Chain A
């Protein structure tokens, strides 16, 4: 056998017959392993995601000492006295102005009830949890961080292969295109789940008691939200050449706008169902939308079914798109 660069005295024989035939299953697992390893090379979007995580962690760490304990909340917000401070002027007023016994008794009862509630550990815990849920979990995490962190890995799965024009090497291997698509999705998940669940865990732990309670209740919603978002952004990676840009536009405009529209429009957004799962898990603690009649949340089972069903449907659609698309930009 002729060799390239080899010496003519020591010819190299061609590979002998294959001892064990190659299998598609082994190739599929190898693709998952290689794709997972290649995802480790953080790129711009992942760096941004990590930067946001660091910033949010810092922010939560800064506000935690006072934000979740309602004794420090102010009325009017930001510039008024704290709830704890309000009991002193009330007491001063009660002592300064002589009242008739009945009125004084009522006033003392009211002040006592105020103090009882203010210093009740269970009520304090619930109030802190409610505020943490509203300000961090719903406003920041579900609406903003969850889609953004998901897209940072999910659009890179196929999008990066396309951008670097390496997808060709995968398409020349004896693997069906749907199998390649699914392998890429599976390879994304450890990273995306790691970032989303890990990031959520970190934020919750930094927030103290309300965060620990939120973590215990909300992690399934984060898990299912991540699966659905990744399936959506993975589909975008197969469909669009600049998938990251499309996914960012989708996250900022459609998810945010749709998620805040009244009535049924918001049901077109994935974060709506993620929130509904959270409402369902925390309903015993009084967590519900500000205006339930306007928000029209769905039940926990329905939300779970929609997220799981959408994940499957989006994956099937993506596999179909990927199987039928000719990637002419590869060469």
Chain B
């Protein structure tokens, strides 16, 4: 649905995107990375707002820059300016008319989409008086109204209250279930994790990693997975674990009942751990992986702790 083929983009002497190849299929993909990593450039290229210097960006078989591609794209930018003199309803209706719908169809779609984003009863006021969350919902509405296959969402949860966030996440999941392709850029990794475990991690204009969090985590050989295990016989379990090939080290951070294991190849380790616990009859009360979150993976990939 969205294909980046060896895309390079320069801003004068600064490289925004460097030889990026990426293919997105239906479903939700999180786009994460530090400021200046190239997320916005990638989204702008996908939305056809800028053109690559090298390579090509295709949306449903059309060049992203072309008008044909725009029919398939719903873009919710981070930009927070509107036709401020208009009401929210009028703005969305105008956007629908600019998609080529008849006035009646534009009105019908506007009403449905405003209902969908929870703005039906608040859309009559002028946009200049809207809160950040309301403006965010209007942005989302204009992106959804022509029922696009590809949704590009730049910080879509920014400024939305907790209830609105939950509703937004549910809406995104529902859209993904209906076969839409969503590319969601967000700094709010915890919220993103609720939405998807498929992420593209960007660093210095490149895709540092793309895939599910588990797949990416498995590839980080230099950073063994940290697992906390609460067990009455922690020392005996530690001794048994040290015999496993994938265990890189064991610590006792909180006395004799808590074990911190560092393990490579997490999938194989968990299989062997399961067998060991069952065979030796260990009483494991709690098991938790500590650094397989997007946050931790991003930190490892970028060589620093993220905040």
Contacts and interface: CB of A to CB of B under 8 A. Distances in A.
- Real binding pair: yes
A326 B49 contact: yes
Interface of A: 1-6, 12, 14-15, 18-27, 30-31, 34, 38, 41, 164-166, 168-177, 179, 326-328, 330-331
A4 B174 CA distance: 12
Contacts of B68: 174
Contacts of A15: 108-109, 112-113, 145, 147
Interface residues of B, number: 54
A12 B170 CA distance: 13
B67 A176 contact: yes
- Among A20, A172, A173, A327, chain B packs the most CB atoms within 10 A around the CB of A172
Contacts, number: 138
B147 A4 contact: no
B168 A168 contact: no
Contacts of A20: 102, 105
A169 B83 CA distance: 9
Contacts of B78: 331
B49 A174 contact: no
A22 B72 CA distance: 13
Interface string B50-92: 1100000000000000111011010101110111010000000
Interface in B129-151: 137, 140, 142, 145-147
A175 B69 CA distance: 10
Contact of B100 (A26, A34, A166, A172): A26
B73 to A, nearest CB: 7
Contact of A26 (B71, B81, B102, B108): B102
B99 interface: yes
A164 B83 CA distance: 9
Given A2-B170, A3-B171, A166-B82, A174 B100 contact: yes
B99 to A, nearest CB: 5
Interface of B: 11, 40, 44, 47-51, 66-68, 70-71, 73, 75, 77-79, 81-83, 85, 94-95, 97-102, 105, 108-109, 112-113, 115-119, 137, 140, 142, 145-147, 164, 167-168, 170-171, 173-174, 178
A24 B67 CA distance: 10
Contacts of A169: 82-83, 95, 98, 142
Given A4-B168, A174-B68, A14 B100 contact: no
A176 B65 CA distance: 9
22 contacts: A2-B167, A4-B117, A4-B118, A5-B119, A5-B137, A6-B115, A12-B116, A14-B116, A18-B101, A18-B105, A18-B147, A21-B100, A169-B142, A170-B98, A171-B48, A172-B77, A173-B99, A174-B146, A175-B67, A330-B49, A330-B79, A331-B49
Contacts of B140: 4
A20 to B, nearest CB: 6
B171 A22 contact: no
A21 B71 CA distance: 12
Contacts of A165: 79, 81
Determine which residue in A3, A4, A26 has the highest number of CB atoms from chain B within 10 A of its CB, and name it: A4
Nearest to A13: B112
B79 A331 contact: yes
Nearest to B49: A171
A173 B81 contact: no
A12 B167 CA distance: 13
Contact of A328 (B48, B50, B71, B117): B50
Contacts of A168: 49, 77, 79
A27 B51 contact: no
B118 A6 contact: yes
Given A12-B112, A175-B70, 8 more contacts: A5-B118, A12-B116, A14-B147, A15-B109, A24-B100, A171-B48, A172-B73, A328-B50
Contacts of B116: 1, 3-4, 6, 12, 14
A164 B78 CA distance: 15
Contacts of A326: 49-51
B70 A173 contact: yes
Contact of A166 (B48, B83, B117, B164): B83
Given A12-B116, A172-B73, A173-B70, A38 B83 contact: yes
